[in-house]
A = this chain, B = another copy of it.
Amino acid sequence: MAHPLWQLSASEASRRMSRGELSSEAYVRACLARIEAREPDLLAWAAVDPDQAIAQARACDAAPRRSALHGLPVGVKDVIRTRDLPTRFNSPLYPDFQAGEDAHCVAVLRSLGAIILGKTSTLEFASGGRIPPTRNPWDLARTPGGSSSGSGAAVADGMTPLALGTQTGGSTIRPAAFCGVFALKPTWGRVPFDGIKGFAPHLDTVGFYGRSAEDLALLAQAFPLVDALPAPLPGPLRLGVCRTPLWHEAEPQAQAAFEALIEKLARDGVALREVAFTSDEADINRWQDEVMQDGGRYAFLPEFLAAPDLLHTEFKAKLGNHLGLTPERMRQALDRIAQARVGWEAQLDGLDGVLTLSAPGVAPLGQHTQGMATFNRMWTALQVPCINVPALWSQAGLPMGLQLVHRRYEEERLLACLLALVPHLDTERHPWSEHADD
C-alpha cells in the first residue's frame, strides 16, 4: 500500500513537485487532513487557516517554481510574526494580535514559494510562564519539549514536513530530540531575528525542523547558509566526541545508547577523537543562564508597562533582576563564554563534526515540564551550529537525540557531514510506524 502523502519528507515532496508528479494543493491537503485527525490529541497548533493554506498552494501550483521550497508547507512558531495569521506568543497580552507583516525568516520562505501552513504552539514568549498543552506524538503522556513545542510535535507527527522554531537555551534542539525529528540551530546571527519576539540578544537564534538531513539543507539553502545543497562528505568520517562537563546529568539509558553508537561508528571505520571542555569551563551553562536572564531584564518591559496584570509572574521576576546580576558578573559570563568558544573550536582541526547528546534522555512525563536544556545551553552560548539527529532510541522505543555540532559558520560542512553520517544511523523511525511499539 502506498504511504499517505503526509508521510513524505519535504525533500521527496519537492522532487515530486519538480517532476510534476505532485501538486502543492494535494500535499497541503494531506497535511491539513493529518492535522484534523491528530490535532485533538496533540494540540500542536496555535492557529491554522485551511482555506488560506489551500489558496497559497493553488497559487503556487499556478506559478513558475521559485525554489526547491516552492509549494512546501511550513509551520511557524507562534513567537514569529506572520502577516496573514495571528501571532499570540502564548500570552494573554496578545489575544488577537495580527502583525500584518512577516518576520524576516517567514518573508524569505514565502518569497521562495513556501506555504505558511499555520502557527505552532510555544512556551509563553519562548521564555517562561505558560506551558502550551502540546503532547508528545510518541507518548501523549509526555512533553514534546519546548519552547518550540508545536514545531517539534507537528513535524514528528506528519502534520507538516517543515517548521521554524527559535532557541535561546535549548528551545529548538530539545523538542527535536524528544519528538525524534531533525533540527538545525544555525550559527548565532546568521539568520536575522527581525520580526521575532526577543528574549536574550546574545543567544536568540532561529531554528529549522525537518524529517531528514536533506530537509534541513533545503531550509539552510534558503537563507542562504549554504551556497548549494551539500553533497555527503567523502569518507572516512572524522568525528569528535564531546561528553561535556554535564555528562553525569544524562540518564543511564542515554549514556548507554550514545556509547553503543560510538562503538558502532568505530566499527564502521569512523575516526573518533575526544573533544573536551576544560575544568575552568565547567560552569558554562551557568554563564549561559546569567546571559539569558539578563536579557529578560529588558525584553518584557513593553508588556509590563502595557498590562502588568496580564504578564506572568515569571517575567516580572526576570524584570526584577532576580539573579542580582551586576555589570561585573555580566562581563565575566560573556568573556568566559568567549574564551571557552575559542578553546573548544581550536580542538576541531581535522574534524568533520562533533557528536554529543541533544538531551539528558527521553521526554519527561507530564505537561508541567518541558524537560532540561542541559545539553543545549553551552552550544547556544558558544553560538555554534548544531543539529539534532533522531538516532538514539530508548528500550521502549522513545526518541533520545544525538547532536552534531561544529564551529561557527560551518553549516555547509556540518550538513555535508550529516549526509555522510546518516547511513550509519537508525533514523527512519516515526511515531506512526511500527517502531513506535518496538
Contact = CB atoms under 8 A, between A and B. Distances in A.
Interface of A: 99-102, 104, 107-108, 111-112, 188-194, 196-198, 201-202, 223-224, 295, 298-299, 301-302, 305-306, 327, 330-331, 334-335, 338, 341-342, 345, 407-410
A190 B327 contact: no
A197 B198 contact: no
B194 A198 contact: yes
A224 B102 CA distance: 29
Contacts of A331: 345, 407-409
A84 B104 CA distance: 22
A309 to B, nearest CB: 14
Contacts of A104: 198, 299, 301-302
Contact of A112 (B197, B305, B330, B410): B305
Contact of A298 (B223, B298, B305, B327): B223
A362 to B, nearest CB: 34
A183 to B, nearest CB: 20
B189 A193 contact: no
Contacts of A345: 331
A201 B223 contact: no
Most B CB contacts (10 A, CB to CB) among A102, A334, A341 go to A334
A409 B305 contact: no
A85 to B, nearest CB: 15
A192 B409 contact: no
A196 B102 CA distance: 13
Most B Cβ at <10 Å: residue of A188, A301, A341: A301
A301 B224 CA distance: 9
A389 to B, nearest CB: 22
Given A107-B302, A192-B298, 8 more contacts: A104-B198, A104-B299, A189-B295, A192-B198, A327-B409, A330-B408, A330-B409, A338-B341
A331 to B, nearest CB: 6
Contacts of A107: 302, 305-306
Contact of A192 (B100, B201, B330, B408): B201
A341 B330 contact: no
Q: Which of A101, A188, A193, A299 has the most CB of B within 10 A?
A: A101
A112 to B, nearest CB: 7
B101 A305 contact: no
Contacts of A102: 302
A111 B305 contact: yes
A122 to B, nearest CB: 16
Contacts of A302: 102, 104, 107-108, 111
A342 B295 CA distance: 21
A273 B312 CA distance: 48
24 contacts: A100-B100, A100-B101, A102-B302, A104-B301, A107-B305, A108-B301, A112-B305, A192-B198, A192-B298, A192-B299, A193-B198, A194-B198, A201-B201, A223-B298, A223-B301, A224-B301, A327-B408, A327-B409, A327-B410, A330-B408, A330-B409, A331-B345, A331-B409, A334-B408
